[in-house]
Structure 1
Amino acid sequence: MTTRPRRSVLYMPGSNQRALEKARTLPADSLVLDLEDSVGPEKKVAARDQVMAAVSAGGYGYREIIIRANSLDSEWGEDDIRAIALSGADGLCLPKVENQAQVEAAINLLNDAGAPASMQVWVMIETPLGVTNIQQIASASARITVIAMGTTDLSKELRVTDRIGLLYSLSQCVLAARAYNKEILDGVYLDLHNDQGFTDTCVQGKHLGFDGKTLIHPKQLAAANQVFGPSANDIERAENMIAAWKLAEAEGKGVVVVDGKLVEAMHIDEARRHLARAEKIAAQQTK
């Protein structure tokens, strides 16, 4: 019930000062300031310094700030994690996680560097081995709050040419997220000229159980926020269900029918979750 909304999670290149500034005004629930894929080798160190300065300067309001480090097997990974530990960001995003040992090594670095207990770890699942080991990865630490799918790399590794080839992997990761009480984010959509295709993929992701969508461009924010947020109908139905449930409880009943559908306690829990998210989203919009 206390989970923050993560409908829209926008990657921003850490080497682009203008993008870091613009991010302060965008309607994204979360921002991933990237030191990895979007930054060339010659700019890695400068990007790290630039991102740390941007986070220190603040001004991002309600937006959750996550920094994606380079992998630990790179020459920049350890220094990235040490810097992130004391950056004031909400969390560290680990790319290409394939086993529990990688998570533990990163968390040991965070702890040794003095990261606050509240600092989250997001794990990116981008390879067949990551999917295969998702149970051990998801259960590796209480610091892990989010599983983020890296569907571009995963598609390449699996040699699939259509999203249907990812469905088994996506569902395996959703199962692990629910088993270990983590949030899970769908991968990016690369075709910036296909708005309908993007929306359709968001809808499919929501049906598969994802909590939100990772994004590569601000133009994708509105659709992601709409699809992954509670609709007006969702809110109205949730309110009706809870009202009917209270009447049923007063009469000593354990079930109730709302709009012709049977409602039990588990449905009320979900209705309350919808309303809690709607309240947090509404609160964000006033900031």
Structure 2
Amino acid sequence: MSQNPVRPRRSVLYVPASNDKALAKIATLACDAVIIDLEDAVLPAEKAAAREKLAGILANRPARRCEMVVRINALTSQWGADDLAAAAACEPDAILLPKVDTARDILEAGDHLDEAFVPDEVKLWAMVETPKALMNIGAIAELGRDAASRLSCFVAGTNDLVKETGIQATPDRRYLVPWLMQMVLAARAGGVDVVDGVFNHFSDSVGFARECAEAAAMGFDGKTVIHPAQIEAANAAFAPSVAALAEARAIAGMFALPENAGKGVVVLGGRMVERLHLAQAEKLLAKAAGIGA
């Protein structure tokens, strides 16, 4: 499996690279990651100017622990190659590739980074937003098992999936759920994280909280957000609960006892607990440590 470190990605905020006012607020926000967007949020006439601002934006990245990711335009577009080169030169934590259809798209971007001698610490994230991506999701996720691919996270592009497939975007996302679960399953098989798509009605806090809770129950690591007002609810929904943390500590403590050394199964609170539960507990505790819980 991938040896990517456990990093909290509960709230991942999109910020247009062309929006100076929004960029100025990044250091004050409690999101786990920020996506500096050169793609959908930037008009064609502004894309070159937005790209030129990348170096300054990333040079002033927040001192606190916050992942800085750059979403470029598709490599097949007229802006993609220049975006990738500019982003790579700034060495963000990750580069988010839109319109990924096949594993080859990830490998080609990785080849560009390798040829430019970009450090291995610069990872690749992939938007899952096309029917082709869903058809090829297993092969794409498999790259997560190879550190050389740089792949570390999937991002659900739910708006694009709705557009490309013609399904109805109902409040309960009933027609999207099968594909969302497919993303989670593939991400787990490949050892990469996966964050849910955006909730468009940012003034509907109740609906957003409900969708976050459902996404957390589906197994997502976090949610992409489009407004700072959504950050707090996302952080709460995707953080380990007090009860879950207590159970994880109890499991880890039980297996740490000298008399349980080498045991595959122990009894805790009247139930059998296996080492697979220990692995889950350790991952949860590592996530909690990452967010200071």
Q: Distance in 1 between matches of 2:281 and 2:287?
A: 10
- How far is the alpha carbon of 1:105 from its aligned partner? 2.3
Answering whether residue 255 of structure 2 is matched by residue 245 of structure 1, we say: yes
Between 67-76 and 110-119, the greater mean CA deviation after superposition:
110-119
1:153 alignment partner in structure 2: 160
* Structure 2: segments with no counterpart, 5+ residues: none
Q: Aligned in 2, Cα 1:250/1:100: closer, same or farther, shift over 3 Å?
A: closer
Counterpart of 1:228 (choices 238, 246, 263) is 238
Counterpart of 1:3 (choices 3, 6, 15) is 6
- How far is the alpha carbon of 1:232 from its aligned partner? 1.6
Q: Distance in 2 between matches of 1:259 and 1:66?
A: 43
Q: Aligned in 2, Cα 1:252/1:91: closer, same or farther, shift over 3 Å?
A: closer
In the superposition, the TM-score normalised over structure 1's length comes to 0.92
Q: How many residues align?
A: 283
Answering whether residue 52 of structure 2 is matched by residue 49 of structure 1, we say: yes
- How far is the alpha carbon of 1:195 from its aligned partner? 1.2
Q: Aligned in 2, Cα 1:86/1:240: closer, same or farther, shift over 3 Å?
A: same
Counterpart of 2:121 (choices 115, 118, 123) is 118
* Structure 1: segments with no counterpart, 5+ residues: none
- How far is the alpha carbon of 1:257 from its aligned partner? 3.7
Contact 2:38 2:47 (C-alpha < 8 Å) held by counterparts: yes
One-letter code aligned to 1:172: Q
One-letter code aligned to 1:144: L
Contact 1:56 1:88 (C-alpha < 8 Å) held by counterparts: no
2:138 alignment partner in structure 1: 135
Q: Distance in 2 between matches of 1:237 and 1:210?
A: 20
Q: Distance in 2 between matches of 1:101 and 1:237?
A: 42
Counterpart of 2:17 (choices 10, 14, 31) is 14
One-letter code aligned to 1:239: R
- How far is the alpha carbon of 1:249 from its aligned partner? 4.3
Q: Distance in 1 between matches of 2:116 and 2:134?
A: 29
1:204 alignment partner in structure 2: 214
Q: 3-state DSSP class of the match of 2:25?
A: helix
- How far is the alpha carbon of 1:111 from its aligned partner? 2.2
Q: 3-state DSSP class of the match of 1:230?
A: coil
2:291 alignment partner in structure 1: 281
- How far is the alpha carbon of 1:254 from its aligned partner? 3.9
Q: Give the 5 Å matches for 1:163-174.
A: 163-174=173-184
Contact 2:54 2:87 (C-alpha < 8 Å) held by counterparts: no
2:282 alignment partner in structure 1: 272
Q: Distance in 1 between matches of 2:98 and 2:264?
A: 46
Q: Distance in 1 between matches of 2:279 and 2:249?
A: 12
Answering whether residue 71 of structure 2 is matched by residue 68 of structure 1, we say: yes
State the Cα deviation string for residues 154-193 of structure 1 (Å, max 9, x = none): 1122222221111221121112111111111111111112
Contact 1:25 1:60 (C-alpha < 8 Å) held by counterparts: no
1:26 alignment partner in structure 2: 29
Identity %: 40
Q: 3-state DSSP class of the match of 2:15?
A: strand
